[in-house]
């Protein structure tokens, strides 16, 4: 190795170290326990609100199934309205998975792309992009249900159930 090759090698090593330091500086650090606590609180608040809706609907004389339907409808509507007002994304940013997992998170995943792409028009914006995030969930949910239904039917026909 001559002197020039050694200098290039040293510069390369120095650049790698500088880059690694830069990556450490710009990479956000997360406190796992704090994130889990925030998710737990957020999900718990959403579920508590849902339970309150269920209890209130039951106190109005609705049976369990109707009360559950009203609870789902109110939570989905609330999530879509909060998404439209740009409040739900802030809840998601703070609460993480605690806000994304319940039914409200699913409603948010359908409403957010529709709002984001509405400037592109009803067909190419809202129509094409509305199920960008939720589409695969719906597809695999329906497909899984179909496969399990076929397996159940086969098992029932053969006398396993």
* Model pTM score: 0.62
Structure confidence at residue 160 (pLDDT):
84
What is the number of structural domains in the chain?
A: 2
- For the chain, what percentages of helix, strand and coil (3-state, to nearest 5) are there? 85, 0, 15
Q: Report the mean per-residue pLDDT for the chain.
A: 84
Say what angle helices 103-116 and 134-157 make with each other, to 10 degrees. 140
Let me know whether 80 and 114 are in one domain. yes
In a domain, 46, yes or no: yes
Let me know whether 89 and 161 are in one domain. no
pLDDT tens digits along 102-157: 788 878 877 777 766 666 666 666 566 666 766 777 778 888 999 999 999 999 99
> Is 134 or 6 the better-scoring residue by pLDDT?
134
Let me know whether 36 and 72 are in one domain. yes
In a domain, 35, yes or no: yes
Let me know whether 98 and 159 are in one domain. no
Let me know whether 106 and 140 are in one domain. no
33: pLDDT strictly greater than 80: yes
Domain that holds residue 149: 132-161
38: pLDDT strictly greater than 70: yes
Let me know whether 53 and 80 are in one domain. yes
| HSE of 100, CA atoms in CB hemisphere, 13 A | 14
| ∠ Cα 34 36 41 (to 5°) | 95
């Amino acid at each position: 190795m001559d002197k020039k090759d050694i200098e290039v090698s040293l510069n390369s090593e120095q650049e790698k170290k500088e880059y690694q330091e830069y990556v450490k500086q710009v990479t956000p650090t997360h406190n796992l326990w704090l994130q889990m606590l925030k998710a737990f609180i957020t999900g718990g608040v959403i579920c508590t609100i849902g339970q309150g809706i269920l209890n209130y609907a039951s106190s109005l004389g609705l049976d369990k199934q109707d009360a559950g339907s009203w609870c789902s409808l109110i939570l989905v509507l609330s999530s879509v309205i909060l998404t439209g007002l740009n409040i739900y994304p802030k809840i998601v940013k703070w609460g993480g998975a605690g806000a994304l997992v319940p039914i409200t998170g699913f409603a948010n995943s359908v409403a957010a792309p529709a709002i984001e792409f509405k400037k592109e028009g009803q067909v190419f914006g809202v129509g094409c992009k509305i199920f960008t995030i939720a589409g695969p969930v719906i597809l695999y949910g329906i497909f899984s249900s179909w496969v399990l239904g076929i397996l159940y039917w086969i098992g029932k026909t053969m006398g396993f159930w």
